[in-house]
């Protein structure tokens, strides 16, 4: 963790000590983006860099099925690090509406909402930087212009990520990626295991993978992708599935032993290396588990 400077820190300074905002921003640039200190437009470039690093971070969350759980501006780092995640979780079955946080009653921070919430947070950061517009060459129109690039830049980062997960070596095939995502939405298949099944058919005994539609989709992907090296770099073999973490915690609380935790840690230390394909560490829980599982801010 490089620091705990957040989008919300800028909101605080802008509202409580606006005359210190320029000095504070200079400090943050020097600390986290020193390459911008000599730039012609350091404040505009700073906002741009924060937006890009945040896009890369959230796309990486989507890559592995991570739900941050409480994506307010006070929990967003300005240097693209994942931090202050309390009620976080990983999805098992693909569901863009997946929410685990006890405080997220309306799905504001659901798995599929992390992109629009990032955009909302960036809008708040731009507003916090607005006092600089009266003291420097920065204009709010320039900040809004960069915000207008958000969707295209997020799409570019997201489709690049998804092509790697599907082993597609070309720079196109967005329509095929969209078709694959639609299959995930309809099938509600296990997100992590779907990519492993695409790599090595027959690994998992899941009815979703035995359908004609899945086989036809795999054939389409095989024609343009399923590059093994790309897929192994982009797709973890293991994730810290919530029910496995709970089992490890329960064992320690009940018996004082860490054997389950140590076995889980052993596979998670190198999550991109298969130790035992189809093992218990790759099995999703019963579907009822995800519908009932709740995380809290001290998770």
Structural contact between residues 56 and 157, judged by C-beta atoms closer than 8 angstroms: yes
- Please tell me which residue in 45, 74, 206, 227 is annotated as part of the active site: 74
Selection from 208, 210, 202 nearest residue 187 by Cα: 208
Structural contact between residues 117 and 67, judged by C-beta atoms closer than 8 angstroms: no
For 210-221, b/e burial (b = at least 16 CB within 10 A) is eeeebeebbeeb
SS3 38: coil
State yes or no: is 178 an active-site residue: no
Angstrom distances, CA of residue 58 to CA of 116, 160, 279? 11, 13, 29
H helices present in the chain, as ranges: 7-16, 21-32, 42-64, 114-129, 140-147, 150-165, 174-187, 191-199, 212-224, 228-234, 242-255, 259-268, 287-292
Beta-bridge mates of residue 190:
93
Contacts of 237 (CB under 8 A, 6+ apart): 196, 267, 271, 272, 273, 274, 275, 277, 282
Contacts of 176 (CB under 8 A, 6+ apart): 166, 168, 220, 221, 224
Q: Is the dihedral of CA 199, 202, 206, 212 positive or negative?
A: positive
Q: Which two tokens stand for residue 80?
A: 């693209």
Structural contact between residues 197 and 203, judged by C-beta atoms closer than 8 angstroms: yes
Catalytic residues, by residue number, are 74
């Amino acid at each position: 963790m490089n620091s705990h400077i957040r989008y919300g820190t800028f909101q605080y300074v802008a509202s409580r000590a606006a005359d210190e905002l320029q000095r504070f921003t200079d400090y943050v640039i020097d600390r986290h983006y020193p390459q911008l200190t000599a730039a012609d437009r350091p404040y505009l470039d700073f906002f741009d860099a924060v937006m890009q690093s945040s896009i890369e971070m959230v796309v990486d969350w989507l890559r592995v099925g991570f739900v941050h759980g409480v994506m307010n501006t006070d929990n967003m780092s300005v240097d693209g690090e994942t931090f202050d995640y309390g009620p976080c979780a990983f999805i098992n079955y693909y569901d863009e509406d997946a929410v685990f946080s006890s405080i997220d009653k309306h799905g504001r921070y659901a798995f599929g909402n992390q992109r629009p919430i990032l955009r909302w947070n960036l809008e708040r950061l731009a507003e916090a930087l607005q006092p600089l517009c009266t003291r420097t060459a920065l204009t709010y129109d320039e900040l809004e212009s960069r915000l207008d690039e958000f969707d295209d830049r997020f799409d570019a980062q997201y489709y690049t990520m998804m092509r790697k997960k599907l082993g597609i070596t070309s720079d196109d095939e967005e329509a095929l990626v969209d078709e694959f995502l639609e299959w995930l939405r309809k099938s509600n298949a296990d997100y992590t295991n779907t990519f492993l099944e695409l790599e090595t058919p027959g690994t998992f005994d899941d009815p979703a993978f035995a359908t004609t539609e899945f086989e036809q989709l795999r054939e389409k992907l095989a024609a343009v992708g399923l590059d093994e090296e790309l897929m192994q770099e982009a797709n973890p073999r293991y994730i810290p599935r919530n029910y496995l973490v709970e089992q490890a915690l329960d064992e320690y609380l009940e018996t004082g032993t860490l054997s389950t935790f140590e076995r889980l840690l052993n596979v998670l230390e190198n999550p991109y290396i298969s130790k035992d394909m189809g093992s218990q560490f790759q099995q999703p829980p019963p579907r009822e588990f995800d519908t009932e599982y709740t995380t809290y801010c001290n998770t």
